[in-house]
Amino acid sequence: MSTKKSRLDRLRRSLGLETDNEWPSVVRERLGAYVLLSVYLVVIWFPIYYIFITSIKPSAEVLSLPITFIPRDPTIGNYVDIFTNRPFDNYTINSVIIATTTTVICVTLGTLTGYSFSRYDFMGNKTLLLSIVGARMIPPIALIVPFFQIMSSPPLIGGITGSLYDTRLALILTYTFFNLPFAVWIMKNYFDGVPESLDEQARIDGCSRWEAFFKIILPMAKPGIAATAILAFIFSWNEFVFALVLTSSETAQTLPIAVSLFVADDFVDWAHLAAGGMIAAVPGILFGLFFQQYIVSGLTQGAVKE
């Protein structure tokens, strides 16, 4: 408190303010920050507001002039329509299954592997870690052709499963490609921050490596796991290009594809598109609002977004 006060005093003196009554520059600076941030927020949230009001306008109002920025006649009809006239229930289920499964695989494998990379020196561990992380550098879009070919006739297991094209499995396999290296990386960094003496103590107390990991270390890694899980879920939920190439029907298509399907060549059904878009945006908005600190901590530990 006293340092703050002296800092303020110094500032006041440096600005040539003699009395305490004048508005200190710290306050002015803060007010300025609030104003700038508020203007920025209003501007960046306006498009989201606009797509939201479009989603609750009747189609006729969407295409009428002048544009209404507050809906005259709000309705949930568009939302009802996309679930009754279009298979939005299927799309949503696909999105949930694909994103959840990918997340579970990536978190499980990523946590175990990240822990070993953090704790043990084994043959080529540095090179292996670097290649896993380097795999993220490969532009996914460069691989759309080979992925399409592989999913259409999978090598080795092709005789058993047949084509994986237009299945949820194809997308789950593909999305682990985006998210697994990233999960390994976040978890490795996270475990680096958990003191090694904890494992050692557990080992001295007679725990096996597995017990030390599951009983002592894993419970401490919850925030790291949360960060990895949230980001892996969001990345898989939002992915568009591979879903576009690898699926063709509602048996496997996800919400981002469903939204893009409202765009016909020369006509766009904006009201329904907006409703579909809001559905697709739900996890992003919810995770953003409630788990923002996990997203930030996960990313700042060296992660990457596709």
Partner 1 sequence: MSTEKQPLRRKLDKLFIPLTVGPTLLWIAAIIVYPTVKLIINSFQFRNPVTNEMEFVGLRNFERLLFAREGANAAFGGFSQEFVAITRNTIVYVGFSVTISFVLGLGIALLLHKDLKGRSWFRTAVIVPWILPYVMSGLMWRWMFQADFGAINGALQQMGVISGNIPFLSNGALAMAALIVADVWVFTPFIVIILLAGLQNVPEQLYDAAEVDGASRWSRFWNVTYPFLKPSIMVALTIRIIFDLRALDLVWVMTGGGPGKATEVWASWLYRTAQVFNSPGPGAALGVVLLVVTFAIVATLYKIFGESPYEA
Residues 193-252 that bind partner 1 (CB under 8 A): 206, 208-210, 234, 237-238, 240-241, 245
Give the count of beta carbons closer than 10 Å to the beta carbon of residue 295. 18
The SS3 assignment for 251 reads coil
Q: Which stretch binds partner 1 (CB under 8 A): 16-24, 56-64, 78-86, 215-223?
A: 56-64
Least distance between partner 1 and beta carbon 72 (Å): 14
Q: What per-residue string of b and e applies to 238-247 under the rule 16 or more CB within 10 Å gives b?
A: bbeebbebbb
Least distance between partner 1 and beta carbon 84 (Å): 21
Is 108 in contact with 102 (CB distance < 8 Å)? no
Between CA 164 and CA 172 the distance in angstroms is 11
Q: Which stretch binds partner 1 (CB under 8 A): 17-25, 71-79, 130-138, 162-170?
A: 130-138
Is 129 in contact with 188 (CB distance < 8 Å)? yes
Is 246 in contact with 170 (CB distance < 8 Å)? yes
Between CA 71 and CA 153 the distance in angstroms is 50
- List Cα–Cα distances, 186 to 45, 99, 190, 219, 263, in angstroms: 30, 18, 6, 16, 37
Residues 79-108 that bind partner 1 (CB under 8 A): none
Residues 146-185 that bind partner 1 (CB under 8 A): 146-147, 149-150, 155, 173-174, 176-177, 180-181, 184-185
Least distance between partner 1 and beta carbon 61 (Å): 10
Tell which one of 15, 22, 28, 63 touches partner 1 (CB under 8 A).
63
Q: Which stretch binds partner 1 (CB under 8 A): 78-86, 125-133, 163-171, 194-202?
A: 125-133
* 76 versus 263: smaller Cβ distance to partner 1: 263
Count CA atoms closer than 13 A to 161's CA, side-chain side.
16
Least distance between partner 1 and beta carbon 188 (Å): 10
Is 144 in contact with 69 (CB distance < 8 Å)? no
Between CA 233 and CA 105 the distance in angstroms is 11
Least distance between partner 1 and beta carbon 204 (Å): 12
Residue 23 binds partner 1, judged by CB under 8 A: no
Residues 263-302 that bind partner 1 (CB under 8 A): 263, 268, 270, 273-274, 277, 280-281, 284-285, 287-289, 292-293, 295-296, 299-300, 302
Residues 29-48 that bind partner 1 (CB under 8 A): 29-30, 33-34, 36-37, 40-41, 44-48
Residue 135 binds partner 1, judged by CB under 8 A: yes
Least distance between partner 1 and beta carbon 194 (Å): 16
Q: What per-residue string of b and e applies to 121-156 under the rule 16 or more CB within 10 Å gives b?
A: eeeeeeeebeebbeebeeeeeeebeebeebbeebee
# binding residues, partner 1 (CB under 8 A): 102
